[in-house]
Amino acid sequence: MTGNPIRSPIWHPFTQHKLEPAFKKIVATDGAYLIDEDGRSILDAISSWWVVTHRHRHPAITNAIQLAAERFDQVIFAEYTHDPAEELARGLIDLTPPGLAHVFYSDSGSTSVEVALKMALGFFHNNGAPRSRVVVMQHGYHGDTIGTMSAGERGVFNAAYAPLLFDVDTIPFPEPGHEQETLDALEQFCRSGDVAALVIEPLVLGAGGMKIYPAQLLVEFQRITRRFGTLFVADEVMTAWGRTGTLLACDQCDLSPDILCLSKGITGGALPLAVTLCTAEIFDAHLSEERRRTFFHSSSYTANPIACAAAVANLDVWRAEPVEERVRAVAAMHRDRLVRLQSNPRFRNVRQQGTIAALDLAGSSDGYLSEVGPRLRAFFRQRGILIRPLGNVIYLMPPYCVTEEDLDLAYDAIEEAADFVGNTV
């Protein structure tokens, strides 16, 4: 079988269907691999868009889903609660930095950040001192809803929707040697007294090009925000669950944000779920006998019991299995293999943060729409490896079950791809 000749009615995400070949069907997943309709195994080198942490179909998480499905489907969360949500909320508060005391459920990374934006503005509004500005970092990406597009880098991702977006204040990305410019810009914005929140991806900017900056800057960011009463929102949708080398990126500098956004790996990659954690102070600003101070946000599938059960099982895996050891092993495997690429003139800016490895293909245009991106994807696809470059930025973010042999396949293909692209320019 080579694929259904009838054109599918499906509109795929981030896909220009006029240019893409027909999609292969995946019929199963296992460990670090996807299995397509032809029986071919494809190394999932990017964890299916950064969601699969331990492995595809981790037995403990799969079993928890099966057991929950025998008892639950959706339960209206504006009227009732249930054990999976209660257990997960307490588990998250135990695992996350001190000071985070309340958990709000949603369905995706975008909505978790959208919730954070509304929490921040609601906090100041309900305290009688409204603030309307939000500060973000250059090259940031926080999602595809209206609020999160507004908070993200303006460009190809959201140009068509510009009339819907609100203005934000942007600090420059802290390039090496220019960190003070970033700190000065943040202080200048916060000094105005009108900034409700700083919203950033800690340590690594994901879709913005896997840009990495040092943990110490997070400490400086929080020092400034606290000085001026601005809330610190950590968007850890991508960076959490071991990706940067620790459970949370914030853990690398003992940072306690005012608001923390989590999704992607929260269920180990099994089901969609997201949470926004906040301090008691933010919750209490919405706590009142006046109904108008209610936090007005929800979705139909808020705190889906089956998804919550999967996330509870994921927390159990983190407690019971040597996940941190696996994370360190993946990071070490990257380091060993990146050494040989650092001296390869076809690559520049070879970099790593925990289980994330990235490099830029030299001699090609920058940006998401770089023509080299689709050619690289096609090359990797032919080699049986799922890698989706961000334009000319090639990155790896594999599940933690990945082996030395798996990563050899990926790194060998990256070197071959550079030669292939170079020879066909």
Average pLDDT of 98-126? 98
CATH of the domain at 94: 3.40.640.10
* Residue 21 belongs to a domain: no
Measured distance CA(138)–CA(141) in Å, rounded = 9
My answer on whether 282 and 371 are in the same domain is no
Residue labelled with tokens 């179909």: 57
Chosen domain end from 264, 288, 320: 320
Asked if the model's pLDDT at residue 3 lies above 70, the reply is no
CATH of the domain at 46: 3.90.1150.10
Measured distance CA(405)–CA(408) in Å, rounded = 5
Measured distance CA(197)–CA(328) in Å, rounded = 33
My answer on whether 82 and 38 are in the same domain is no
Q: Which two tokens stand for residue 299?
A: 């979705």
Question: Is 346 within 8 Å of 418 (Cβ atoms)?
Answer: yes
* Residue 408 belongs to a domain: yes
Tally of domains in the chain: 2
| Rg, the chain, Cα only | 22
Q: What is the pLDDT of residue 365?
A: 79
For 274-325, how does the pLDDT look when each residue is reduced to its tens digit (9 = 90+)? Answer: 999 999 999 999 999 999 999 999 999 999 999 999 999 999 999 999 999 9
Q: Are strands 169-171 and 133-137 parallel, antiparallel or unpaired?
A: parallel
Measured distance CA(181)–CA(311) in Å, rounded = 40
My answer on whether 187 and 267 are in the same domain is yes
Provide, rounded to the nearest whole percent, the portion of the chain with pLDDT above 90: 93
Chosen domain end from 320, 337, 360: 320
pLDDT band per the 50, 70, 90 thresholds, residue 1:
very low
* Residue 3 belongs to a domain: no
My answer on whether 50 and 65 are in the same domain is no
* Residue (of 145, 125, 142, 121) closest to 133 by Cα position: 121
* Residue 393 belongs to a domain: yes
* Residue 215 belongs to a domain: yes
The strand ranges marked E within 126-166 are: 133-137
Provide, rounded to the nearest whole percent, the portion of the chain with pLDDT above 70: 98
* Residue 390 burial by Cβ neighbours in a 10 Å radius (0-12, 13-18, 19+): buried
Q: Which two tokens stand for residue 23?
A: 């999609």
For 337-380, how does the pLDDT look when each residue is reduced to its tens digit (9 = 90+)? Answer: 999 999 999 999 999 999 999 999 998 877 887 889 999 999 99
Q: What is the pLDDT of residue 5?
A: 54
Chosen domain end from 320, 342, 372: 320
* Residue (of 5, 309, 259) closest to 119 by Cα position: 259
Question: Is 307 within 8 Å of 269 (Cβ atoms)?
Answer: no
Question: Is 205 within 8 Å of 140 (Cβ atoms)?
Answer: yes
Asked if the model's pLDDT at residue 85 lies above 90, the reply is yes
My answer on whether 293 and 355 are in the same domain is no
My answer on whether 176 and 272 are in the same domain is yes
Residues in the chain: 425
Question: Is 116 within 8 Å of 261 (Cβ atoms)?
Answer: yes
Measured distance CA(170)–CA(185) in Å, rounded = 8
Decide: helix, strand or coil at residue 70: coil
- DSSP class of residue 7 equals P
Lowest mean pLDDT among 153-157, 193-197, 387-391: 153-157
Q: What is the pLDDT of residue 170?
A: 98
My answer on whether 182 and 209 are in the same domain is yes
My answer on whether 30 and 136 are in the same domain is no
Q: What is the pLDDT of residue 187?
A: 98
Question: Is 285 within 8 Å of 122 (Cβ atoms)?
Answer: yes
Consecutive H or E run containing 199: strand 195-200
My answer on whether 331 and 302 are in the same domain is no
Asked if the model's pLDDT at residue 234 lies above 60, the reply is yes
* Residue 230 belongs to a domain: yes
Q: Residue 370 is part of which domain span?
A: 26-54+325-424
Measured distance CA(306)–CA(271) in Å, rounded = 8
Question: Is 65 within 8 Å of 306 (Cβ atoms)?
Answer: yes
For 26-59, how does the pLDDT look when each residue is reduced to its tens digit (9 = 90+)? Answer: 999 999 999 999 999 999 999 999 999 999 999 9
* Residue (of 311, 408, 384, 377) closest to 35 by Cα position: 384
* Residue (of 30, 104, 58, 100) closest to 318 by Cα position: 58
* Residue 13 belongs to a domain: no
Measured distance CA(367)–CA(159) in Å, rounded = 14
Question: Is 43 within 8 Å of 55 (Cβ atoms)?
Answer: no
My answer on whether 309 and 185 are in the same domain is yes
What is the average pLDDT score of the chain?
Answer: 96
Measured distance CA(183)–CA(224) in Å, rounded = 8
Average pLDDT of 207-213? 97
* Residue 295 belongs to a domain: yes
Average pLDDT of 212-234? 98
My answer on whether 281 and 400 are in the same domain is no
Return the biggest CA–CA distance within the chain: 69
My answer on whether 304 and 157 are in the same domain is yes
Measured distance CA(105)–CA(217) in Å, rounded = 29
Question: Is 279 within 8 Å of 258 (Cβ atoms)?
Answer: yes
Asked if the model's pLDDT at residue 421 lies above 90, the reply is no
